[in-house]
Chain A
């Protein structure tokens, strides 16, 4: 380590030894690929990416997203493509390979393929007020997120997409998929999801906030359960721990959920909950923007 390169700026452990591309291909990291393929042809030769693709397709299966229909010439067909992302942990190590099938929504025409696209999201101030309230009440916050959230929303317009690259049905190569649920990348994708979630919560006895429409409340005797929704991230808090458990069971019965637990990291805010209060900091975010702007700042 030299003077200009302090140890705290080295990513990963210095005892790891040299990492090369060849060692990535040996898959010493238990079936996790280190490289992000640019196209389906690159992905299909790697076992870990095939696994990720299977996982995404099974989500489509489970949510009954689409049906294969003959191509009707009068309809616009929206292209779809694969996107491959590596999920990193806090130290920047690859922990998961994720494949996502997305629609090329920029080909959609307003009025024909979509009409309403608006979906409200929580404001940062609202989240801070919620945090302040919980400190006052001395209660603990929890969070969870919905797997492939947008695939849960029902579409109200007829939308057709092409078959996914690399997965063309050999017997019906000219068929297209008619969507019943929303797809990532569609212009209107967030709205059906918000509709579905809010209807579900209201059916289960929640009342929606009049000003902040992403805040849901439920009272039971003198106990209160508050749910704040940020697209597919949900944070919730209750005056009784039992209500939190009931809520998480309720959500699991309707949607496929992941990552439940105490609130720790939300929208780039690192949140530490202590008995006497809550600390918020954005150290990780600072490091990210410093990294992103480094090249710009070094130019002059």
Chain B
């Protein structure tokens, strides 16, 4: 099972990174945000990723995808 966030590297504004579609990024953040109603474990990771909506880069998108992969692995824990 994959963890929510990369253990050592931290997210920053990543100004040299490639920009991605803000609409898709926000859609993903939004759907994760509603999920925090029953999944407090993802709150920190989602909150952190949501701070980069204004300058969404590929590095941020891969962080969000990591959250989704974490969800795939934990879907049947009954959380």
> Does B79 sit within 8 A of A, measured CB to CB?
yes
A293–B65 Cα gap in the complex (Å)? 9
Interface bracket on B: 20 to 34
Partner of B31, one of A124, A279, A293: A293
How does the 8 Å CB contact mask read for B20-53 relative to A, with 1 for contact and 0 for none?
A: 0000100110011011011100000000000000
Provide the main secondary structure of the chain B interface.
helix
Whether B28 pairs with A293 at a CB distance below 8 angstroms is: yes
Say yes or no: A281 contacts B79, CB within 8 Å: yes
B38 touches A269 (CB 8 A): yes
Q: Which residues from chain B contact A118 at a C-beta distance below 8 Å?
A: none
Residue numbers in B under 8 Å from A286 (CB-CB): 35, 71, 75
Please, what's the 1-or-0 string for A260-288, where 1 marks a CB less than 8 Å from any CB in chain B?
A: 00000000110000000001111101110
Chain B proximity of A28: nearest CB distance (Å):
32
16 new A-B contacts, CB < 8 A, other than A280-B38, A281-B38, are A124-B37, A268-B34, A269-B38, A282-B37, A283-B76, A283-B78, A286-B71, A286-B75, A289-B32, A289-B35, A290-B72, A292-B31, A293-B28, A293-B31, A296-B28, A300-B61
Question: Which residues of the other chain, B, contact A268 by a CB distance below 8 angstroms?
Answer: 34
Chain B residues with CB under 8 Å of chain A are 24, 27-28, 31-32, 34-35, 37-39, 58, 61-62, 65, 68, 71-72, 75-76, 78-79
* Known contacts A269-B38, A282-B39, A285-B34; A290/B58 CB under 8 A: no
Give the size of the chain A interface in residues (CB under 8 angstroms): 19
Contacts of A281 in B (CB 8 A): 38, 78-79
A residues with a Cβ closer than 8 A to B are 124, 128, 268-269, 279-283, 285-287, 289-290, 292-293, 296-297, 300
With both beta carbons as reference points, the residue of chain A lying nearest to B71 in the complex is identified as: A286
Which residues of B are found within 8 Å of A280, using beta-carbon distances?
37-38
